[in-house]
Amino acid sequence: MADESALRRSNRRPKPAQRETAPPVNVPSKRKAKEDASPADQLHFLLQNPKSRLTKIDMSELINANSWDMLSPDSQTRLAALLPPTAFRSFQPTIGLDHPAADNTMQLDQKPSDSVDTSFFADPHFLAAARTFQDHLFSNWLSDAHAEKVKKYEQGIKDGSLAAPWKDEVWERDNQREERTTTSAANNLAGEAAELKLIDLAKNSVLREGDVIAYKRNFTNLDIVVEKDVIIQKIDRRTHSLTVLLEPGPTRDLPSHLLMPGPTEPAAPTRIMTITSPTQLESGLLDVDGRVERAKRPNGNAWKALTLWRWSGDALNHSSQPQSNEDRRGGRQDHGTLFYLRACYYQDR
């Protein structure tokens, strides 16, 4: 028995030796570090840092009539100096002496008293301003770094080293990709529509007898603007060529008798021209106008320089005279350039 007891004692594990350990080091937490910050630093964080708790609370629960009454009279006086005149009980709308409603008995330019109307803190305008403050705080617009950027920007605007972009430039910058895509699609459509000829438009009633085609091009190199109207007198049923009437020289407008509904035979000095393309029409008009020499004519797109004017509805319902002295085309309406009409017809066919 003694041997068994000795054996059990010998099998017991010895207790580990106690190691000398250094005293624990108290590492301050982030929360404690914030609490240890000076009141000025805490206020700076609260009012300027985008992580401030003010961005997550309902401002009406913080600033209201109850919280105002809890302040000391000295604090109320200091804060009252920051409030607008509408926050005081004695406020009256200020009007000038020259206002028709002003009289000798009214109190003008009255300064508010120290008595604050606490209902002001529930006013929708005040609450909207408080939410705006929260938005600016969350967006980091109240930080010292942002204030420095604004200061540098304003100084650059004043001394001319920076330029404020116009809203149109900002829109073009932000929508450049979309605009480029739209322009590319329009150019592709215009390129495909170019296979259509003037006689195709006449054949498919895009151009009709009685329509007025107005030509206008600005020759900037000569400081000359050429404007001239022609009226489609006849469309050949076999070739679909156009016979148009126009006035000689630089005369722009057609005589009133040519603008009436129904076929009209031209009389001197009205000129007659047969054309099958916009380029041919433009060359003929410039030759008749006589102010721009052939050598000085740029290669422009005649489709864009010619605009179609047509009556809306039944032409027979229109008066036999132009509607007014300023009506140059007998009551017809602008239907767009031939370039535009060709693209529309190509897309709709």
Total residue count of the chain as it appears in this document: 349
Nearest to 55 by CA among 127, 133, 123: 133
Nearest to 283 by CA among 257, 305, 259, 264: 305
Under the banding of pLDDT at 50, 70 and 90, the label for residue 153 is confident
Alpha helix ranges (H) inside 265-337: 278-289, 302-305
Spatial separation of the C-alpha atoms in residues 326 and 345, rounded to whole Å: 31
Record the tokens describing residue 348, joined without a space: 């709709």
Record the tokens describing residue 32, joined without a space: 């404690």
More confident residue, 327 or 122: 122
- Does the structure show a pLDDT above 80 at 327? no
Where would I find the beta strands (DSSP E) of the chain? 212-219, 224-235, 242-246, 271-275, 306-310, 333-337
Chain-centroid distance of CA 293 in Å reads: 43
How many Cα atoms are found within 13 Å in the side-chain-facing hemisphere of 164?
Answer: 10
> What is the reported pLDDT for 142?
92
Share of the chain above pLDDT 70, in %: 71
Q: Count other Cβ atoms within 10 Å, centred on residue 253.
A: 15
Under the banding of pLDDT at 50, 70 and 90, the label for residue 174 is confident
Share of the chain above pLDDT 90, in %: 48
Crossing angle of helices 176-193/338-348, nearest 10°? Answer: 80
Query: Do 328 and 229 touch, CB atoms closer than 8 A?
Result: yes
> What is the reported pLDDT for 321?
45
Pairing of strands 212-219, 224-235: antiparallel
Element containing residue 131 per DSSP (H, E): helix 124-138
- Does the structure show a pLDDT above 90 at 115? no
For residue range 34-60, what is the model confidence (pLDDT) as tens digits?
Answer: 567 788 899 899 999 999 999 999 999
Crossing angle of helices 167-174/176-193, nearest 10°? Answer: 70
Its pTM stands at 0.47
